[in-house]
Amino acid sequence: MDKSLLIFILVGLGFLYLITNFLGDIQKEDEKFQNKGYQQEHRYDQYHSVDSIGQEILNLVDADAKTQIEAWQASALKQEFLELFPDFADMKRFVKERIRGDALQTTLLKHIDTVEGKFFSGAMTAEQAKRSLDLLK
């Protein structure tokens, strides 16, 4: 491969990287440049905050039940929650400490209790239990 072609490709990739990062920063800063994809991706950002000890929390106190569940499904905290499986006590503690919003908190705690009972009784395999925890409705 010719050296000039390789340099041209590297310069092009560098330029593309700078443009995409620059456009992302512009979209974050100025509402008139935000497209529908950006707004869709960041519609639940208002519910994310940090507590007094520096942990990210999902603060859904003023949101309705449907919005609470949708924000939970789109949240990165959900993946952190699922990594605690099969320690159901830690999962319950996680919900109580890191999620604000009575409707979602109550729903999650009931769902965890249901899945825990089915898992330990043998009615669910580990994969089914994790999938059930992932697909909260």
Residue found by looking up tokens 């620059």 in the block: 22
Q: Which pLDDT value is given to residue 43?
A: 65
Separation of alpha carbons 89 and 100, rounded Å: 18
Give every CB contact of residue 73 below 8 A, 6+ residues apart in sequence: 136
The pLDDT of residue 44 is: 66
- Per-residue pLDDT at 31: 57
pLDDT value for 137: 67
10-residue averages of pLDDT along the chain (137 residues): 82 81 61 53 66 77 78 82 86 87 84 90 89 81
3-state SS class at 2? coil
Q: pTM to 2 decimals?
A: 0.63
pLDDT at 107: 86
